[in-house]
Chains A and B, each alone.
Chain A
Amino acid sequence: MKRRDFLLASAAGAATMAAPSILRAQGAGAPVRIGFITTLSGPAGYLGQDIRDAFQLAIDSEGGKLGGVAVQAIVEDDGLRPGQGKSIAERMLRNDGIRLFSGIVFSNVLGATAPDILDGGGLYVSPNAGPSNFAGRECHKNYFVISWQNDSLHESAGRSASELGYQNAFILSPNYQAGQDALAGFKRMFRGKIAGEQFTRLDQTDFAAEMAAIRAANPDVVFQFHPGGLGIAFLRQYQQAGLLGRIPMVVAAPSLDHTTLAAVGDAAVGVNVTSHWNVDFDNPQNQAFVAAFRAKYNRTPTYYASQGYDTALAIGAALRQTNGNITNQDAFRTAMLKADFKSLRGSFRFGPNQHPIQDWYALKVERNAAGQLELRTGKKVLENHGDSYAASCRL
């Protein structure tokens, strides 16, 4: 009897694990409400926090407005659970009458949530996730992506690995939509051979088995996609397994951002990263953003933050042209697609599937004069790069 109770109770506990903590951001006035569903709790919480904080920074720096129109971000935490994201979206659509959405970090949450938003007559502007299934045949006229299409992140890493002269790559990623997109993207642009390919788990903390497999395969480069805390654990265990000095690593931005860099420390030195944005981009709008973000939140923004900010600017540009009217969705879309804002990345425009066309850069982890680790931007890897699904999108 005891044991049965234990089983039942632990199952109940597991089922409710990592449930939502609900947060509401306070905006001003009686404004256009933006449903901001993002991941704030659990190990990936800092991703959503950076996106939310940068989004709010853009609103605050205009005095509670975007594009001259008063807005309010209604922030809720999806806890990285697709079902949670979906039910928040349904509630916001039905009960609160919200029609403009943003904020989702993870592709698996987006996959469950976006269809409801779009079918319910809402608009969705993605500050991060850009899964392949919504970029091609299932693209939607009310779905915009400001960040990237998932594959393109990793296509840049594949191209970078080839340009660095590597012939034989071992590739790893967690087994979910964005992880599958990552491996597909890397392989599309990498010209060498694949020495080994392994899926990990999204809740995995110990990578010893993978380290041993890498050592046994002895590739000349490792590519891995492990966002947030996963990437920290992976890199440190890579170093502890004695692989860091021996087998170079090429990753895309999510596997090593400014927050994970601080937590990884020396284990990151020499890692090759590719990204569409970096703190040191010297366009004036980026300089101003980095300074303002540091002043307000007392930390270095990650690329997640830059995307949150760009998303706010993109929405602002569209709202300005429509005078804050989001009920005429065709007008909103026309305005949005002009991308009439100064992106922190410098170059930005929308492709035919309403995903970005942008430049990708090679970054390297180095020590600066003060002895701190930083990501330094190197040369351009891909120019005006869209994604490979745009062709099958009919809009």
Chain B
Amino acid sequence: MTLVLEQLLNGLQLGVMLFLLAAGLTLIFGIMGIINLAHGALYMVGAYAGALTAKATGSFLLAVPAGLAAAGLTGIIIEYIVIRRLYDRDHLDQVLATYGLILFLNELVTILFGRQPLFVGVPPALSGAVEIIPGVPYSVYRLTIIAVGLMLALGLFLLITRTRLGMLIRAGATHREMVRALGVDIRLLYTLVFGLGALLAGFAGVMAGPLLSVQVGMGEQILIMTFVVVVVGGVGSIKGAFFGALIVGIVDTLLRAFMPVLMRGLVTNTSEADALSAGLSSMGVYVLMALVLLVRPQGLFAARG
């Protein structure tokens, strides 16, 4: 039982990380109509800036704003130079251009910092483990990610539902022409939304630094899963991104954790059971996506429009 609880916690943590990326992706698509494949690259920029700052200053507290600033700035520059030219273009053009950005940013990082992965330590204050489930020490750092991620989700929710900017964002997602007709500077709104998405991705990158390996191409590993989250949750919906991310995170973790046990019960040959369960659990989230598309093609929490 404690194992199930622990795995649920693990799923929650993965879900929160996915949410940070998916929120930006879904906003950028929902409001601006842009498919931003380079979103993972912004995550990488955040992780690199965080890692380098932590290395230079020895302080993780400084790494967070550095990662945010680098990702946000990169996002705004990208929006200004590249994305602006794509608003009226076909989605295929957008995919090609943002895919080009992935190659460009990956190569730039390789040139600047090399292919060797960087080291980021867990900040000492968060390096221990606590037994929130009796008998199971759980990493304080992971708990921090969960807490901070949930707070950010709440903050985003308040921003979207309770502020003027949020109102414009919601209006922009559903009635873009009307917002423009009312005299709102839609370009500024777009830049803000893109910057916000970049900030969230950069934050996810900084937080991932001590858990994963900070290296070129790290963004693409998680990007595909993020797309699954956006599709499951419903394109353009922050609420969808949140619940989609939690569902995908938990389903993926639980399948990885319990599929082998289940398959060993069903298939007698253990090595066959292991291979089968590895295959099935890696398919899991995609099967989930297919089911959602079948039953509720607009996504579980689709924004209207």
Contacts from A to B (Cβ < 8 Å): 2-3, 5-10, 12-14, 16-19, 21, 40-43, 45-46, 49, 175, 180, 197-201, 203, 205-206, 208-210, 212-213, 215-216, 229-230, 232-233, 236-237, 240-242, 259-260, 262-265, 299
Interface centre among A8, A16, A43, A264 (most CB of B within 10 A): A43
> Assuming the A-B contacts A6-B231, A197-B274, A240-B139, are A41 and B224 also in contact, with contact meaning beta carbons closer than 8 angstroms in the complex?
no
B116 and A263 form a contact (CB under 8 A): yes
A42 and B224 form a contact (CB under 8 A): no
A43 and B213 form a contact (CB under 8 A): yes
Please name the residue on chain A nearest to B3 by beta carbon. A216
Residues of B within 8 A of A17 (CB): 102, 220, 223-224
Interface string of B1-40 (1 = CB under 8 A from A): 0010011001101100100000000000100010101000
With an 8 A cutoff between CB atoms, is B53 at the interface? no
Bound Cα distance A236, B141 (Å): 12
Residues of A within 8 A of B231 (CB): 3, 6-7, 10
A210 and B139 form a contact (CB under 8 A): no
Interface string of B243-263 (1 = CB under 8 A from A): 000000000011011001000
Q: Which 9 A-B pairs have CB atoms at the shortest separation, nearest pair first?
A: A199-B278, A208-B10, A232-B213, A42-B217, A229-B213, A46-B115, A175-B278, A209-B257, A45-B115
Residues of A within 8 A of B102 (CB): 17
Please name the residue on chain B nearest to A302 by beta carbon. B116
Count of B interface residues, CB-CB < 8 Å:
77
A242 and B129 form a contact (CB under 8 A): yes
> Assuming the A-B contacts A208-B142, A212-B257, A232-B117, are A199 and B275 also in contact, with contact meaning beta carbons closer than 8 angstroms in the complex?
yes
B224 and A14 form a contact (CB under 8 A): yes
Residues of B within 8 A of A7 (CB): 231, 293
- Which DSSP category, helix, strand, loop or mixed, fits chain A's interface? helix
B298 and A206 form a contact (CB under 8 A): no
Contacts from B to A (Cβ < 8 Å): 3, 6-7, 10-11, 13-14, 17, 29, 33, 35, 37, 91-92, 94-95, 98-99, 102-103, 106-107, 110, 114-119, 121-122, 127, 129, 136-137, 139, 141-142, 208, 210-218, 220-224, 227, 230-231, 235-236, 253-254, 256-257, 260, 270-271, 274-275, 277-279, 282, 293, 297-299, 302, 305
**Contact partner of A240 among B7, B11, B142, B214, CB < 8 A?**
B142
**Contact partner of A206 among B99, B137, B211, B297, CB < 8 A?**
B211
Bound Cα distance A138, B281 (Å): 31
B107 and A21 form a contact (CB under 8 A): yes
Please name the residue on chain B nearest to A265 by beta carbon. B119
B217 and A45 form a contact (CB under 8 A): yes
Bound Cα distance A265, B10 (Å): 24
B278 and A208 form a contact (CB under 8 A): no
B253 and A209 form a contact (CB under 8 A): yes
